[in-house]
Chain A
Amino acid sequence: MIVASNLTKRYPGGHEALSDVSFEISAGQMVFVTGHSGAGKTTLVKLISTIERPTSGSLVVNGQNLAAIRRSAIPYVRRNFGLVFQDQKLLFDRSALDNVLLPLEIAGLPRRDAIRRAQAALDKVGLLAREKALPIALSGGEQQRLAIARAVVNRPTVLIADEPTGNLDAESAAEILEIFADFHRVGVTVVVATHDQNWIERYHPNVLTLSRGRLA
């Protein structure tokens, strides 16, 4: 599903965020990437989600080598991913429902079908009752759940999250973890970068620990 071989990312200025990292994540697995700040978690997530490109090595997702992909193909690759960020990157000028509709508009789904699917996604994260609310009116945990609804509405094969509970209290964080576990149970591959010890202990076998850009 996701195969990294000798993956290296060097930023302009010489800082090497990832050095020679190799791993394999099989389809339907739930994997946690952990490590201290600056260990390279975010870089790894950005590489998998094609936001950044590797300096060397290969990264094959769904049989496609992301290191060698054409720029014009990137949007279509990204549609296979559901992305969740620590700062949710919601659009604050539109309702919860419209935020979730955006990926479906991009995919060109007919409006009626799109609305039905967006409402289903909101329902899955427990926000259907708040579909008309603007994100600013939602709590931190609700905003993160909204971001998850937007990430999964397009039925991605891989759900990728970068510190999704970084700004949340323990209770909200536990809710978010449950939602990810639900998607994992229905067969979605889930990759979460986090330093939340609760998660790591619970899913111990499937943890990639990074230290100074290398797998520990």
Chain B
Amino acid sequence: MKAWFAQHRAALGSAFRRLWASPLNTALSLLVIGIAMTLPGFGYVVLDNLRELGRNASGAQQISVFMELSATRRDVADIENRLRQASTATWRFVPKEEALQRIQASEGMAEIVSSLPRNPLPDAFVVEPRNTDPEALETLKKELAGWPKVAHVQLDSSWVKRFDAFLRLGKLALALLAGLFGAGLVAVTFNTIRLQVLAQAAEIEVARMIGATDAFIRRPFYYFGALQGACGGLLAAGLVLGALQLLAGPVGELATLYGAGFALHLPGLPEIAGFAGLGAFLGWLGAQLSVSLSLRKFD
């Protein structure tokens, strides 16, 4: 067991030394890997933020329930009871008087409203469902529309649907992009390791001859691939963070102009660790493929 740890430590050490021994090559490889991972990584963060934005945007997932003008207090109480029993949503009751006052408070509307013979507005409920899936919203809308004395139920579902479809499309495009760049990363590692195996042909041959197992010979290359991938992943995380820092100011300003309190969600430690882990895995995969192919000629 002790020997096993010692050999792994030695392999890791040798991988570090190889990375360090040719700084220019290492820097270039890391840059390629880093940039390859930055694009999908940036896309992921942007989508994550858009989803957050969609969730927070007021009105997007609200259902307005307008009562008939003839509805009485008792009808309103009945709807309140039904909503309480359904308990699938929080809601707020907006009496017609309040709605009228609000319109009067709006710029330039006071005169128009006061010229009306009577209040044209109905009582209304603003319902905020807990489940905001487009399907669930649609079902709830249908149910609400069937209740007595309900004149109209309005759900801006087409907006929600479009947004959802956009997110799904974005996710798919991102997955394709990530797959493409992932393959690129594997290829970069593959080539780096292939060149290393060629450069160390003498060492591999001698080691084989004096009793090195396959695992002993492969181990430093695996560590090298994983290490290079992990460093590339960290570089990518750094690039994404940097880009987001640059964007954070303008996005905040834009959000303020729209009266929304939206701040970019920056990737945290788990995401950064995820970047490094993914890079390490892809690097390891590239090394695995490369070593398996390159070592065949030593048999």
Measuring CB to CB, which residues of chain A are less than 8 angstroms from any residue of chain B? Answer: 49, 51, 72, 75-79, 81, 83, 89-93, 102-103, 105-111, 150-151, 154
Q: Please, how many angstroms separate the alpha-carbon atoms of A105 and B10 in the complex? A: 9
Interface residues of B in 169-210 (CB under 8 A from A): 202-203, 205-210
Give bound CA distance, A79 to B205, whole Å: 15
User: Of A83, A92, A108, which is within 8 A of B210 by CB?
Assistant: A83
B3 CB within 8 Å of chain A: yes
Whether A108 and B7, one on each chain, are in contact in the complex, defined by CB atoms closer than 8 angstroms, is: yes
Restricting to B97-132, which residues have a CB under 8 Å from any CB of A? none
A135 to B29, CA, bound (A): 32
- The complex places the Cα of A91 from the Cα of B6 at a distance, in Å, of 22
Is A78 a contact of B210 with CB atoms below 8 Å? yes
* With known contacts A75-B213, A78-B211, A105-B10, A89–B206 Cβ distance under 8 A: yes
Which one of A78, A90, A92, A105 has the highest number of Cβ atoms from chain B below 10 Å of its Cβ? Answer: A105
**A106: which of B4, B202, B211 is its contact (CB, 8 Å)?**
B211
List 7 A-B pairs, Cβ < 8 Å. Answer: A72-B213, A75-B213, A90-B206, A92-B202, A106-B210, A109-B3, A110-B2
**In whole angstroms, what is the CA distance A93 to B206 when docked?**
13
A169 to chain B, nearest CB (A): 25
B243 close to A (CB within 8 Å): no
Residue of A at shortest CB range from B5?
Answer: A108
In the bound complex, CA of A213 to CA of B6 (Å): 45
Question: Are A108's CB and B209's CB within 8 A?
Answer: no
B27 interface residue (CB < 8 Å to A)? no
Report how many A-B pairs have Cβ atoms within 8 Å.
59
Determine if B212 is an interface residue (Cβ-Cβ < 8 Å): yes
Interface of B is mostly: helix
CB within 8 Å for A102 and B207 given contacts A75-B212, A75-B213, A91-B202? yes
Binary contact track B275-289/A, C-beta < 8 Å → 1, others 0:
000000000000000
Residue of B nearest to A105 (CB): B10
B44 close to chain A: CB less than 8 A? no
Q: Which of B6, B202, B206, B216 contacts A110 (CB 8 A)?
A: B6
- How many Å from the CB of B17 to the closest CB on chain A? 11
Q: Is the CB of A108 within 8 A of B6?
A: yes
The residue of chain B having its C-beta at the shortest distance from the C-beta of A109 within the complex is B3
Contacts of A79 in B (CB 8 A): 210-211
Are A89 and B211 touching (Cβ within 8 A)? Answer: no
CB contacts (< 8 Å) of A78 on chain B: these are: 209-211
CB distance from A115 to the nearest CB of B (A): 13
- Closest residue to A111 on the B side, CB-wise? B6
Q: Are A83 and B6 in contact (CB under 8 A)?
A: no
Residues of B within 8 A of A49 (CB): 209
The interface residues of chain A lying within 8 Å CB-to-CB of B213 are 72, 75-76, 106
Q: Which residues of B contact A83 (CB under 8 A)?
A: 209-210
Please, which residues of chain A bring their CB within 8 A of the CB of B202? 89, 91-92
Nearest Cβ distance between residue B199 and chain A, in whole angstroms?
A: 10
Assess the B212–A106 pair: CB atoms within 8 A.
yes
